[in-house]
Amino acid sequence: MKETFGEYIKSLRTENELTLTQLASKLDLDSANLSKIENNKREFDEKRLELLANVFNLDLAKLRTEFFSDIIAKKIYDNNCDSETLILAEQKVEYLKSKNLTTI
């Protein structure tokens, strides 16, 4: 079972024996805010994904997948969306691709 993105960062951090302050500084972030991110009280900012990948030598593409799936999961969870939602979403992605639509 997949953990949240914040918990993932926390496990990366502790496995590498870094303090919040140390990692926060590498990510150009306040340690208090990093704590909130790790505890699902704030969102990690997309613009720091590359930095995070570099710090822990991670594959950026995989990290992005991890990141966006987290955002989507939270949206579904927070709004009590039913199980059909993701199936429909997948169809709509195909539709958008087929139409080459420019959305907001």
Taking the C-alpha atoms of residue 91 and residue 32, their distance in angstroms, rounded to an integer, is 40
Residue in 2, 41, 75, 92 binding DNA, rule: CB under 7 A: 41
Q: How far is CA 85 from CA 53, 65, 76, in A?
A: 30, 19, 8
Residue in 9, 20, 52, 55 binding DNA, rule: CB under 7 A: 20
Q: Considering beta carbons, is residue 3 or 30 the nearer one to a copy of itself? A: 3
- Which one of 13-21, 22-30, 51-59, 65-73 is the stretch in contact with a copy of itself (CB under 8 A)? 65-73
